[in-house]
Amino acid sequence: MIQLKAVPKPLKDFFDAHPRLALAFSGGVDSAYLLYAARACDCDVEPFYAQSAFQPEFERRDAARMAAQLKVPLNVVPLDVLAVEAVRANPANRCYYCKQAIFTALLAAARAKGYDAVMDGTNASDDAGDRPGMRALEELAVLSPLRLCGITKAQVRAYSRQAGLFTWDKPAYACLATRIPTGTPITGEDLARVEGAEMALFNLGFADFRVRLFHGAARLQLPAAQMADAIVRRDEIRKALAPWFDTIMLDLKDR
């Protein structure tokens, strides 16, 4: 059961200074804790979930579950991100254009409900030099309280566990577009293939993995501890992924 408890003082000070905020909500570890912390600090907050082909269905379900447990309405904002040519072309800085499109839509939805500012779950462990999307957040004046308050990913998980959030040990999850090699145009069909294959693997009991597109084949990236099991169960995996991929390869590099 979730109980609203004290949050770190820097975060409490942040919400005291920003008593009314919209939250870009993914249903992941960081944004879930941020929603909890905002509620614990009596911030007038509502989560906004961008629903696109880049987000798998389980993320939307997790977002809805967390919002329900914290008794806040979830605003779902449909977005055709593949309609943005710079995103669909999948250049090295695709994340910049994607974040621009997503947060522009979220800002518009938030303002329509009377929220003038939007925050996101970027934390102090996120490397700005390796995330071109952060430039888009800065340009759109999106607030990142976890990063501003120096709260790391490990701390977010620890605080989430103390609060009783089911997301505390949820594996990090990058959007489905990251499964398509840079420079390869992104299609809805390829995203659906990857999502289907990843859900099939998850249903077989594997976790914290990636299914990446490789010249039309599936390249499985698994944690080292799961590779032996994958080899033993190769026929089972091949059958489970057959609806989406004819060729399936195991990447021996530890994910």
Q: Which residue has the higher pLDDT, 126 or 184?
A: 184
- How many residues would you count in the chain? 255
Q: What's the DSSP call for residue 216?
A: T
- Residue range 177-196, pLDDT digits in tens: 999 999 999 999 999 999 99
pLDDT above 60: residue 130: no
* Contact criterion met (CB below 8 Å) for 81 and 105: no
Over residues 123-150, mean pLDDT: 86
Over residues 30-45, mean pLDDT: 96
Residue 1 — pLDDT band, cuts 50, 70, 90?
low
Residue 119 — pLDDT band, cuts 50, 70, 90?
very high
Q: 159-168 burial, b if ≥16 CB within 10 A, otherwise e?
A: bbeebebebb
pLDDT above 80: residue 127: no
- Give me the DSSP letters along 154-166: HHHHHHHHHHT-G
* Contact criterion met (CB below 8 Å) for 241 and 200: yes
Q: What residues contact residue 150 under an 8 Å CB cut-off, 6+ apart?
A: 10, 124
201: closest CA among 228, 172, 240? Answer: 240
**And the tokens for 175?**
């959007």
Proportion of the chain above pLDDT 90, given as a percent: 88
Q: What's the DSSP call for residue 143?
A: B
In the chain, DSSP assigns E strands to: 20-24, 44-51, 75-78, 118-119, 210-214, 217-221, 248-251
Over residues 2-27, mean pLDDT: 90
Count each helix (H run) and each strand (E run) in the chain, helices first. 11, 7
Q: What is the mean pLDDT of the chain?
A: 93
Neighbours of 181 (CB within 10 A): 12
* Contact criterion met (CB below 8 Å) for 60 and 76: yes
Determine the pLDDT at residue 189.
Answer: 97
pLDDT above 80: residue 6: no
Residue 114's alpha-carbon distances to 49, 108, 190, in angstroms, are: 17, 10, 37
Proportion of the chain above pLDDT 70, given as a percent: 97
Over residues 69-86, mean pLDDT: 95
Determine the pLDDT at residue 2.
Answer: 65
67: closest CA among 43, 39, 107? Answer: 39
- Residue range 210-243, pLDDT digits in tens: 999 999 999 999 999 999 999 999 999 999 999 9
Q: What domains are defined for the chain?
A: 9-169 (3.40.50.620), 187-251 (3.30.70)
